[in-house]
Amino acid sequence: MVGVSALIGGSGLYFKCKYYECCNDRREKGESSRWIRYDENTFHLLDRDLREKVHGQPLVRNLVVRALQSHFEDDNPLKPLVLSFHGWTGGGKNFVSDIIVERLYKKGKDSDFVQRISGTERFPDPNRVNEYKIELRNIVTGNVSRCGRQLFVIDEVDKIPKGVIDGLKPFLDYKDNVNGVDYRKAVFIFLSNTGGKDITSITYNFLQEGKERDDITLKDIEPLINLGAFNEKGGLRGSDVIEKNLIDYYVPFLPLERKHVKSCVEDFVRRRYKRNIHNDELFLDAVADEMEYFPPDTKIFSVTGCKKVHTKVPLIMRKLNRSFN
């Protein structure tokens, strides 16, 4: 009788999870039946997405895919995976985190197992640090208690009041559990502008020496990002998360050049209007001309990266009397 009940219960769970999001915590075949996807094909597709959709970021693709795959394939990781994305605005930090979410979770950003936290919206008052620390802990504890494979994206970490991020320390450390909850299978992605100045300086020097962006290695940049996270004003400055070396990978996003802006224009038009404008140099140059560039003497890098492409394309369409509909 127990066997029959178990069978019925198991069948009920199967049918429930076929139509409603469930926390699957195993690698299985049959992609369509899983809500959290992390087999070999998932990471192959993630690698392809980053290669085809993210421009001018040679260090991001290999580092991010390798880190995520290693973590998800380990059934007993020592700690949660903590990635810290650094670089100036418009380089693709949010875009890459969105791609990760869409590949790993069947419901993407609508998944109950993905939590996106805006530092400026959630924690605006520097006088409420202790209150915010408790709030952040409750967010993490409540969600990981429901599913160990949670993914937390914390945006604008550099704008969070100092001390708030320390609320995460118990969950990010090398511990089997905290108050009976195992956090080791979770993933945390921090998005921050800290280190952007140093990343830009290194990129500029490489280009001035006649080298390619692809020649830049993580060893060239990571120590400076780490130093920036320690010293630049913001949520990571002097935090236990930094001092205890709980961030596994610092991921640098290089400043984008004019050619990368043009690639972003192509992507946007293809995505929004279903048109291929790869050879339409007049239109691509017209949009790129609308962007600001720095430094003043060479104007190599886009001030806002690809962030304003979606506003500039309609402007140029009207200016050139173009229609992609």
Average pLDDT over residues 282-310: 96
**Cα 304 to Cα 256: distance, rounded to the nearest angstrom:** 9
Q: Which two tokens stand for residue 254?
A: 């290089």
Residue 109 near residue 116 (C-beta atoms within 8 A): yes
Q: What would the pLDDT profile of 245-284 be if each residue is shown by its tens digit?
A: 899 999 999 999 999 999 999 999 999 999 999 999 999 9
Residue 4: pLDDT over 50: no
For the chain, report the end-to-end CA distance as a whole number of angstroms: 63
Average pLDDT over residues 287-299: 96
* pLDDT score recorded for residue 8: 40
**pLDDT averaged over every residue in the chain:** 89
Band of pLDDT at residue 234, cut at 50, 70 and 90: low
Contacts of 293 (CB under 8 A, 6+ apart): 258, 299, 300, 301, 302, 303
Q: What would the pLDDT profile of 105-129 be if each residue is shown by its tens digit?
A: 999 999 999 999 999 999 999 999 9
Band of pLDDT at residue 292, cut at 50, 70 and 90: very high
